[in-house]
Amino acid sequence: MTIYADNAATTKLSKTALNAMLPYLEEAYGNPSSLYAIGQRAKEGLEDARERVARCLGCTARELTFTSGGSEADNQALRSAAQQGARKGKKHIISTRFEHHAVLHPLKRLEGEGFEVTLLDVHANGVVEPEQVARAIREDTCLVSVMYANNEIGTVQPIAEIGKLCREKGVLFHTDAVQAVGHLPIDLAELPVDYLTLSGHKFHGPKGVGALFARRGAPLASLIEGGAQERGKRAGTENVASIAGMAAALEEATGGLDASVPRLTALRDRLIAGLEEIPYCELNGDRLRRLPGNVNFCFEGIEGESLLLLLDDKGISASSGSACTSGSLDPSHVLLAIGRPHEVAHGSLRLTLGADATEEEVDYLIASVKDVVAYLRGMSPFWRDLCSGKRPHVFEK
Amino acid sequence: MALYSEKVMDHFRNPRNVGVIEDADGVGEVGNPVCGDIMKIYLKIEDDKIKDVKFETFGCGSAIASSSMATEMIMGKPISEAITLTNRAVTEALDGLPAHKLHCSVLAEEAVKTAVRDYYDRNGIAYDPSQFPSGEDCAHCDRA
């Protein structure tokens, strides 16, 4: 059996998305800025896709800027709000410790430019409480950026509440919703956010395309100069085929949410229950306030990369927050942010289910992880020390 | 995965000499759980030769493969030869390691040497301390 269980990393392109892309690769390949027919057909496809994405999200087409993906959209949102903040003498930004690096790294750069950044704690359950944001907002706060759902541990943040209080205080609010769009119902007509980031390949669209929602009136700066595309907010010939594919994938994903959310949630909980039978492991992140397809565990006594390699041998694609898989000395900043000590953070496993996951696959995942964990513990001197009491257990059971 | 050579994957998938020697003559443990890798080498020594060697490793694929390869390289060898094992030799025997994994081969070398030193210590055999790693400290990060 082969199971792709790394859908938070990327997803398989859906047939619907692929079919929506082909006309713009094969026939209407013109430049949307050209005035002849195949250029104008591409332009129509582009604007049609914008309308369709807007309908899925409950915003207007004018509020959407297509980008190369989530990272660019995050950068653009932060930079836009920061530039306005600097003009007004407001140079304080609030975010969280477990944001994606596409938010944390630009914030680091802004710090170097004289901004002050407050990163909020995310607690053991991986959820930021609105009161924390309320307490952190100051007179000179120009932006709050809190991710909709965490990419590693899947915890869903109280975005509506945080957005409401940002609005009351007159502070711009950005949410990186890369993991949430197409996976949870989102209605921008109701949700009080000023900026929202999304990425096509997280909901069975193509890679290399995303969008930034910037609510009417929210400042929007251009990161890429060199042309009037995207109303002057993003130079460069538009990736029409991918934008069309993303729109089709989003319609498919959001149209199926009523069925997919309960179905995936049930599969997720089955997977969690199965893995919890393994001794000395713990679920990372809140059990209920989490994405339908996200399961993330820490196992004592083993290291994540060897776990992934052996799961790969069993046909399972998964990911880990261990240092060895990140290529750095430190394990995942997300796991450290929720208080996991290094020694168990190295032994983490993330399984993220796709739209077509089945119960049979979940059972195979459970059996395979149990096998591999037991095998690796069998050769681990660390596990031996934990069992003999020479080193203390981190988890209770 | 193309991250590793076939040799690394072979030793990772089918590690040689995994286990414990209960009545070992020398035991060496290096690394620490904070860094994410621990290697433990057990030696059985007779007539100044490594009669048996076993290992246990907590760590990534290359850590397991490096330990496995190191045990294979010293099995049956005179101690004098075993303590000349270098991380470079382990890496070469594995047909190379990615740059950020080279420390795994260093750990393997240190685990072997630490086990030999333990054997010397237990038997009151004099040795030159500069030939051995400084202790159980992880040399690759300072959090130990």
In this structure, are A26 and A163 located in the same domain?
Answer: yes
Please give the pLDDT value at position A300.
97
* Whether the predicted pLDDT of A320 surpasses 50: yes
Question: Domain residues of chain B, as ranges?
Answer: 6-131
| Average pLDDT value for chain B | 92
Out of A373-377, B81-85, B129-133, pick the least confident: B129-133
Q: Is B20 helix (H, G, I), strand (E, B) or coil?
A: coil
Please give the pLDDT value at position B143.
41
Which of A230, A255, A280 is the last residue before a domain boundary? A255
Report the pLDDT averaged over residues B64-88: 97
Residues of A with Cβ-Cβ distance to B35 under 8 angstroms: 323, 329, 342
In this structure, are A250 and A274 located in the same domain?
Answer: no
Q: Which residues of B are catalytic?
A: 35, 104
Per residue in A107-134, pLDDT (tens digit) is: 999 999 999 999 999 999 999 999 999 9
Residue A388 inside a domain? The answer is no
* Whether the predicted pLDDT of B137 surpasses 60: no
The reply to whether B14 touches chain A by the CB within 8 Å rule is no
* Whether the predicted pLDDT of B142 surpasses 60: no
Residue A10 inside a domain? The answer is no
Which of A226, A255, A284 is the last residue before a domain boundary? A255
Among B92, B99, B133, B91, CA closest to B113:
B133
Q: How many domains does chain A have?
A: 2
In this structure, are A340 and A246 located in the same domain?
Answer: no
| Average pLDDT value for chain A | 97
Interchain proximity B18–A379, CB inside 8 Å: yes
- What residues are paired with A119 via a beta bridge? A95
DSSP state of B130: G
Residue A5 inside a domain? The answer is no
The rounded distance, in Å, linking the Cα atoms of A383 and B55 is 14
Report the pLDDT averaged over residues A277-297: 98
Residues of A with Cβ-Cβ distance to B2 under 8 angstroms: none
Q: pLDDT grade, residue A324 (50/70/90)?
A: confident
- Burial (Cβ within 10 Å: 0-12, 13-18, ≥19) of residue B142: exposed
* Whether the predicted pLDDT of A24 surpasses 50: yes
Q: Are A130 and A167 in contact (CB under 8 A)?
A: no
* Whether the predicted pLDDT of A210 surpasses 90: yes
- Residue A101 makes CB contacts below 8 A (sequence gap 6+) with none
Place of tokens 């009351």: A168
Question: ipTM score here?
Answer: 0.93
Residues of A with Cβ-Cβ distance to B142 under 8 angstroms: none
Per residue in A91-106, pLDDT (tens digit) is: 999 999 999 999 999 9
Residue A138 inside a domain? The answer is yes
- Residue B58 makes CB contacts below 8 A (sequence gap 6+) with A301, A302, A303, A380, A381, A382, A383, B31, B33, B36, B37, B38, B39
Interchain proximity B61–A306, CB inside 8 Å: yes
Residues of B with Cβ-Cβ distance to A301 under 8 angstroms: 58
Q: pLDDT grade, residue B135 (50/70/90)?
A: low
Interchain proximity A379–B33, CB inside 8 Å: no
For chain A, the distance separating the N- and C-terminal CA atoms, rounded to the nearest angstrom, is: 31
Report the pLDDT averaged over residues A71-76: 98
Q: What H or E segment, with its residue span, contains residue B42?
A: strand B37-46
Give which of B60, B62, B97 to mutate to test A binding, by max A Cβ within 10 Å. B60
In this structure, are A69 and A92 located in the same domain?
Answer: yes
Residue A132 inside a domain? The answer is yes
Residue A112 inside a domain? The answer is yes
Q: Which two tokens stand for residue A359?
A: 């119960």
Which of A255, A288, A321 is the last residue before a domain boundary? A255
Which CATH number belongs to the domain containing residue A171 in this structure?
3.40.640.10
**Which of B20, B38, B100 faces A327 most closely, judged by CB atoms?**
B100
In this structure, are A202 and A315 located in the same domain?
Answer: no
In this structure, are A127 and A158 located in the same domain?
Answer: yes
**Which of A313, A341, A383 faces B58 most closely, judged by CB atoms?**
A383
Q: What is the domain class of B6-131 according to CATH?
A: alpha beta
Residue A141 inside a domain? The answer is yes
* Whether the predicted pLDDT of B140 surpasses 50: no
Report the pLDDT averaged over residues A57-69: 98
In this structure, are A65 and A133 located in the same domain?
Answer: yes
Q: pLDDT grade, residue A323 (50/70/90)?
A: confident
Identify the domain containing residue A110 by its residue range. Answer: 15-255
Give which of B58, B103, B107, B138 to mutate to test A binding, by max A Cβ within 10 Å. B58
Per residue in B11-61, pLDDT (tens digit) is: 999 999 999 999 999 999 999 999 999 999 999 999 999 999 999 999 999
Which CATH number belongs to the domain containing residue A334 in this structure?
3.90.1150.10
In this structure, are A246 and A152 located in the same domain?
Answer: yes
Interchain proximity A391–B63, CB inside 8 Å: no
Residue A306 inside a domain? The answer is yes
Q: Is B58 helix (H, G, I), strand (E, B) or coil?
A: strand
